């Protein structure tokens, strides 16, 4: 059984629904070690005491807040937990909003939400939200941070997404230029969009770059050279030409598939 990242209770009016949050994301990427260029020895980072330079074990490290220069007060995890009120521990729904009305730029982390001994109340809330086509905006304390959450029901259960605060969202760095578009260009673009419409099928997408990276690593282990793949020629002259060529290569609407992946970024040398 996976370890819950957070436990609390959804406060839905006067109804309390105990739930657990489980992280919905697990990364599996190629990781590199830092090495000394000459000897190939590992480069490691050590936590050391500032006053003596001695290395410190993880169990010797505590959390401290500097309230004056050189003066700290420490807090344990238990003490931080004691400061939380019942309201802090609750996942309090403040309102329901239309699904899709929250800009994805606010999404931070995703969690699977599972009932924790309150299956009937949990699924009653989930079913009501599904029928109304809404998601819930809620507040809680996750760890040591006051968090805004979006609770989103689905056919399998419910997802919670922690949201960034408005003050954390950066504005567009450069204004979008105002350009003139011909009616023909707009119509062609609409036709291209329509020809590529379909449902999102996550199983069609894989991290092909990650696969090519692993293949390139194994090739180099075997003493083979890594070279750049040949680039396809680009003979597009103007926007209309690009739109027309794109439409010519599209299948019937509703049958769009992801474009073919690029060839491996290396060639095996004998």
Are the C-beta atoms of residues 15 and 9 closer than 8 Å to each other?
Answer: no
Average pLDDT of the segment spanning 213-231: 80
Question: Helices 239-248 & 183-195, crossing angle to 10 degrees?
Answer: 30
Whether 263 has a pLDDT exceeding 70, the answer reads no
Task: For 67-112, write each residue's pLDDT tens digit.
Answer: 899 899 998 878 877 776 666 678 999 999 999 999 999 999 999 9
Phi-psi category of residue 29: left, alpha or beta, with phi > 0 → left and psi -120 to 50 → alpha: beta
Average pLDDT of the segment spanning 211-224: 83
Whether 234 has a pLDDT exceeding 90, the answer reads no
d(Cα 150, Cα 161) in Å, to the nearest integer? 5
Whether 255 has a pLDDT exceeding 60, the answer reads no
pTM summary value: 0.69
Residue ranges matching CATH 2.40.290.10 in the chain? 1-49+62-166
At 230, phi and psi to the nearest 5?
Answer: -65, 135
CA-closest candidate to residue 89, choices 23, 8, 152, 149: 8
C-alpha dist (Å) from residue 254 to 81, 83, 221? 52, 54, 43
Average pLDDT of the segment spanning 135-147: 88
If one looks up domain 1-49+62-166 in CATH, what number appears?
2.40.290.10
Average pLDDT over the chain, rounded to an integer: 84
Average pLDDT of the segment spanning 243-256: 70
What pLDDT shows up at residue 261? 53
Whether 211 has a pLDDT exceeding 90, the answer reads no
Q: How confident is the model at residue 210 (pLDDT cuts 50, 70, 90)?
A: confident
What pLDDT shows up at residue 266? 45
At 53, phi and psi to the nearest 5?
Answer: 80, 5
C-alpha dist (Å) from residue 183 to 95, 146, 197, 246? 42, 49, 21, 18
d(Cα 12, Cα 94) in Å, to the nearest integer? 9
Average pLDDT of the segment spanning 213-226: 83
d(Cα 148, Cα 165) in Å, to the nearest integer? 8
């Amino acid at each position: 059984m996976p370890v819950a990242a957070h436990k609390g209770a959804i406060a839905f009016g006067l109804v309390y629904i105990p739930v657990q949050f489980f992280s919905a994301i697990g990364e599996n990427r190629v990781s590199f070690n830092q090495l000394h260029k000459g000897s190939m020895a590992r480069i490691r980072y050590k936590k050391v005491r500032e006053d003596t330079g001695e290395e410190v074990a993880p169990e010797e490290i505590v959390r401290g807040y500097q309230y004056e220069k050189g003066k700290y007060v420490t807090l344990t995890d238990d003490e931080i937990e004691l400061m939380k009120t019942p309201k802090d521990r609750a996942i309090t729904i403040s309102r329901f909003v239309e699904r899709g009305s929250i800009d994805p730029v606010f999404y931070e982390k995703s969690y699977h939400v599972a009932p924790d001994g309150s299956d009937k109340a949990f699924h009653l809330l989930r079913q009501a939200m599904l029928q109304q086509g809404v998601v819930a905006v809620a507040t809680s304390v996750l760890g040591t941070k006051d968090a805004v959450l979006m609770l989103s029901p689905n056919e399998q259960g419910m997802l919670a997404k922690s949201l960034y605060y408005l003050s954390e969202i950066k504005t567009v760095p450069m204004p979008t230029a105002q350009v003139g578009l011909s009616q023909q260009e707009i119509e062609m673009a609409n036709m291209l969009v329509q020809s590529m419409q379909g449902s999102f099928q996550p199983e069609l997408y894989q991290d092909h770059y990650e696969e090519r990276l692993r293949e390139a690593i194994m090739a180099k282990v075997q003493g083979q050279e890594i070279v750049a793949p040949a680039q396809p020629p680009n003979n597009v002259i103007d926007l209309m030409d690009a739109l027309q060529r794109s439409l010519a290569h599209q299948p019937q609407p509703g049958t769009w598939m992801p474009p073919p992946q690029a060839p491996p970024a290396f060639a095996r040398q004998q």
